[in-house]
Structure 1
Amino acid sequence: MKIILITSEYPYGLNETFIHNEVKFYEKIKNLDITFLPSKRKDYQRKLNFSFKLDSSLSKKKNKTISSKIYFFLKSLKFRVFYKELFRVLFTKPLAIRHFAFSISNFAFYIEFFESYFDIKKNYSNVIVYTYWNNEITYALQHLKYKYNFKLVSRIHGYDLFKERRPYNYMPLKIHFYENINKLFAVSRNTLNYLSDNYRFRKEIIDHSYLGVKDPLHITKSNNTNKLHIVSCSRIESVKRLDILIESLIYLSIKRKDIKIYWSHFGDGYLKNKLINKYKDKLNEVSYTFHGNVENQKLYNFYSKNKIDLFINSSESEGLPISILEALSFGIPVIAPDIGGISEVIKNKSNGILLRKNHNYKDLLYAIEIFIDNDNKLSFKENSYKMFKNKFELNLNYSKFFKKIETIVQEN
């Protein structure tokens, strides 16, 4: 089987660690021909299995300059979707017109790239083109699917799904691209329901497929009652609402003088310095460390070598965070809001605590105290690992996913 796997940047950079987990599963499959086609390139590159190929041709092409964006915007005028989406924006989301222009320009850019990438004389009927993000790259491939006769599958997560994550609640183009794709996989049942309710995909096209993480074969130990070590892992941007987590820790340190609080955050982003400058004088009683972006193995080493009591996610929007699955695999209980597919992995007061969707720092503070005062923390840890092992173990989920891909290849 031949798969062309289109990513944002993997195997470059430190992001998209969830793809790395999936790739580890594919390394075990014989006669599997995978070509990675990232759209962006970073200096750091992960090592790939010797049998896999890396094609950097897409990452070398850019649609970044103003002149380039205008050029491809003008080229998009020949596509019917330009006028359908333009009228939709003008009548429903006029303030989002600039975002429409960027999106349709990218759409035309990717069509031009793939027209040169594929050879009309070749037979692609047994080739799976697999896009890890459901964005303009996927739309361009849907536009070209029957011309080149490849099979097309895609995953959809959070930012590429939820209109609420976008400026003006505007998701460009997606509403028009509900056909010419073999399968679209949501990362959870909840996100599958959102997909069905908000877009026009036929039921037989959409499905859900959980991501998976490896079993570290190690359960982290807990601290004594006078210490609390909390870990969080996310990009530092507004949607992740780290301010809620920080404020809850500040008030917890004031309220619970009997406990020494440690906080470790993994991930980076444009709000980091702003958050540090805003809260550093109030975090005097909290020992905190920003570790930045790290290789996945370094995060696993940290979980293995340290006593960790809680993992906290305080986002306002999520699909199904791989960071939560990784924490559970180490037996770390989780506090997180009931958004996206999180309720499918966190069972309230069993392996963690679910916050209401529109939570604030008081809600999070209350949840942390419930956990602190619970006498059965060992049960929380045991249930965390069981949830991971039963539903989110790497080999379990990717073997199911791969069987679905094999079925698609065999279809006429």
Structure 2
Amino acid sequence: MRDESTYVYQKSERTIVCFTASYPYGNRETYFETELKFLSNAFEKVIIIPRYNPFKSDGRREVPANVEVLDPIVVQGWRRVLYGLFNRSPVKSFILEFLKKKVFLNHNHFLKWFNALLVHRTTFCKIKPLIRSLDKNTVLYAYWAEIPLFTSDCVRSFKKVVRMHGGDFYLNRNHGYLPLRQDIYDAANLLLPISKDIANVLTTTYNQTSSKILINHLGVQRSIHEIKPYDVTSYNTKVIVSCSNVIPLKRVHLIVDALKLASSEENIEWHHFGDGIELKAIEKRIELLSDNIKVFLHGWTSPNKLMDFYRANNITWFINVSKYEGIPVSIMEAFSFGIPAIATNVGGTSEIVNNENGYLVSPDFEPQKLLDLITGTKVDRYLNMRINAYNTWNNRFNASVNYQRLISKLMILNEQNNIL
């Protein structure tokens, strides 16, 4: 079957520069890996500039042949302070922000401001020679909203694109402050919120015009477009899956709390993919579960292996009990196999999960409520949910559709002679 990332577009003769957090180093930003296939097919050259290398190693993921990866910008440890302070990069926008927002009155705000200042000054110093060498028709694309560079005069003549996910956007997830966000959004020519909720905040809080906003959901790509068959004879044993970092934000312990309440007659098998600082605590909680609850902690797992697991197993539910979210790509992945979701109604989750393809629960739900939803859904309704979950993915979160839409917008932006 032909790769759908090669559909439709004639390759542009121009360049796009992508600013990532760490991709292709480490194992994060797996969503960008899919998007990159479309970008590399549409542009003659793609330059990736990662902010840092989380593992401080030379190992990195493979990229398409026309993609050039530059060295990570920011070093870790005390040298970040040294390089960030002792250079001649401009500081005007940060000083104005410091005074206007009274950053000095809040310790958390000051730490965010100071770290952003260090990263920006290091970035500016290292990137300026590259910027001078680029054709003015080059598109600059920040995969995260943490890009103060876009407020600098040296990039004023370039088309600038900013994507917003959740953790890099919502103030309530960042002690009420994110440095220079108003200036960054004002400077951008195209804003790419991953959800309607973020788009609404852009217009109401940051006064951005709808003409420069494209709601561009992330997406999941499948080579086979058909719902995975479900063996209904196994419905008495509920097989649930969760996939996230095991950190306070994700509240994985709440799944254990729900499973503790299961009666001896309820057979449940739980698979969790992901690791993190709370994994040891989860392992201790699991020891208290009864024998009819089987738990498998798989640790960090590559996206391809996770898809293989979905393909090979009869999964009943996908569970997400996070405190905050954008629109979870993990739910998109599950939906692409027709696996319904039970998820907390936070962030943009309600834009993908509803009572036709799963259940939304309150962020402060009781564990018994989660257990009841896992075990209490009638089989006929459940089978309809599987169909609706798959259709939700195929109609709204299929990467081949969403990223082609993005490419179309970038091509229009790329051809414009003047800043929007």
Task: Give the structure-1-normalised TM-score.
Answer: 0.88
Equivalent positions of 1:92-131 (< 5 A) are: 93-119=106-132, 122=133, 124-131=135-142
Aligned AA (1:359) = F
Name the residue aligned to 1:134.
Answer: 145
Name the residue aligned to 1:392.
Answer: 397
Q: Deviations over 1:318-367 (max 9, x none)?
A: 1111111010000000111222221121121x111111243342332233
Q: Pick the aligned partner of 1:39 from 43, 46, 51.
A: 51
Give how far 1:146 is off: 4.0
Name the residue aligned to 1:320.
Answer: 327
Q: Pick the aligned partner of 1:80 from 92, 98, 101.
A: 92
Is the deviation greater in 322-331 or in 358-367?
358-367
Q: Is the contact between residue 131 and residue 154 of structure 2 (CA under 8 Å) also seen in structure 1?
A: no
Give how far 1:110 is off: 1.5
Name the residue aligned to 1:221.
Answer: 230
Q: Deviations over 1:376-402 (max 9, x none)?
A: 321111111111111111211111110
CA distance in 2: counterparts of 1:198 and 1:141, whole angstroms: 20
Q: Deviations over 1:297-319 (max 9, x none)?
A: 11111111111000010011111
Q: Name the SS of the counterpart of 1:362 in structure 2.
A: helix
CA distance in 2: counterparts of 1:246 and 1:197, whole angstroms: 39
1:191 aligns with 2:204: no
1:238 aligns with 2:248: yes
Q: Name the SS of the counterpart of 1:291 in structure 2.
A: strand
Q: Deviations over 1:187-240 (max 9, x none)?
A: 011221123333343433333111111125251524613311101111111111
1:402 aligns with 2:388: no
Give how far 1:284 is off: 4.9
CA distance in 2: counterparts of 1:79 and 1:200, whole angstroms: 25
Aligned AA (1:35) = I
1:14 aligns with 2:20: no
Q: Name the SS of the counterpart of 1:208 in structure 2.
A: coil
Aligned AA (1:25) = F
CA distance in 2: counterparts of 1:246 and 1:220, whole angstroms: 28
Is the deviation greater in 181-190 or in 96-105?
96-105
Q: Name the SS of the counterpart of 1:287 in structure 2.
A: strand
CA distance in 1: counterparts of 2:83 and 2:401, whole angstroms: 46
Shift in alpha-carbon separation, 1:75–1:367, aligned structure 2, 3 A: farther
Identity %: 27
Give how far 1:78 is off: 5.1
Name the residue aligned to 2:374.
Answer: 368
CA distance in 2: counterparts of 1:170 and 1:284, whole angstroms: 47
Equivalent positions of 1:263-282 (< 5 A) are: 263-282=270-289
Q: Deviations over 1:4-47 (max 9, x none)?
A: 12212222222211112212334554x63212222233454322
Q: Is the contact between residue 321 and residue 363 of structure 2 (CA under 8 Å) also seen in structure 1?
A: no
Q: Is the contact between residue 247 and residue 278 of structure 2 (CA under 8 Å) also seen in structure 1?
A: yes
Q: Pick the aligned partner of 1:23 from 10, 13, 36.
A: 36
Aligned AA (2:382) = K
Aligned AA (2:77) = T
Name the residue aligned to 2:351.
Answer: 344
1:173 aligns with 2:180: yes
Aligned AA (2:96) = K
Aligned AA (1:269) = G
CA distance in 2: counterparts of 1:365 and 1:352, whole angstroms: 14
CA distance in 2: counterparts of 1:106 and 1:188, whole angstroms: 27
Give how far 1:48 is off: 1.9
CA distance in 2: counterparts of 1:301 and 1:295, whole angstroms: 10
Q: Is the contact between residue 228 and residue 338 of structure 2 (CA under 8 Å) also seen in structure 1?
A: yes
CA distance in 2: counterparts of 1:94 and 1:48, whole angstroms: 40
Q: Is the contact between residue 351 and residue 381 of structure 1 (CA under 8 Å) also seen in structure 2?
A: yes
Shift in alpha-carbon separation, 1:275–1:144, aligned structure 2, 3 A: farther
Q: Name the SS of the counterpart of 2:96 in structure 1.
A: helix
Q: Is the contact between residue 188 and residue 208 of structure 1 (CA under 8 Å) also seen in structure 2?
A: yes
Q: Deviations over 1:73-130 (max 9, x none)?
A: 47699522223332324476355322322222222222212223322xx452211111
Shift in alpha-carbon separation, 1:360–1:194, aligned structure 2, 3 A: farther
Q: Name the SS of the counterpart of 1:262 in structure 2.
A: strand
Q: Is the contact between residue 159 and residue 413 of structure 2 (CA under 8 Å) also seen in structure 1?
A: yes
CA distance in 1: counterparts of 2:229 and 2:30, whole angstroms: 21
Is the deviation greater in 216-225 or in 202-211?
216-225
Task: Give the structure-2-normalised TM-score.
Answer: 0.87
CA distance in 2: counterparts of 1:378 and 1:280, whole angstroms: 33
Q: Pick the aligned partner of 1:207 from 194, 200, 214.
A: 214
CA distance in 1: counterparts of 2:49 and 2:197, whole angstroms: 29
Q: Is the contact between residue 178 and residue 200 of structure 1 (CA under 8 Å) also seen in structure 2?
A: no
Name the residue aligned to 1:383.
Answer: 388
CA distance in 1: counterparts of 2:270 and 2:92, whole angstroms: 52
Shift in alpha-carbon separation, 1:28–1:99, aligned structure 2, 3 A: closer
CA distance in 1: counterparts of 2:141 and 2:154, whole angstroms: 12
CA distance in 2: counterparts of 1:238 and 1:322, whole angstroms: 19
CA distance in 1: counterparts of 2:231 and 2:49, whole angstroms: 42
RMSD between superposed Cα atoms in Å: 2.4
Name the residue aligned to 1:154.
Answer: 162
Q: Name the SS of the counterpart of 1:49 in structure 2.
A: coil
Shift in alpha-carbon separation, 1:191–1:51, aligned structure 2, 3 A: same
CA distance in 1: counterparts of 2:268 and 2:223, whole angstroms: 26
Q: Name the SS of the counterpart of 1:11 in structure 2.
A: coil
Aligned AA (2:245) = R
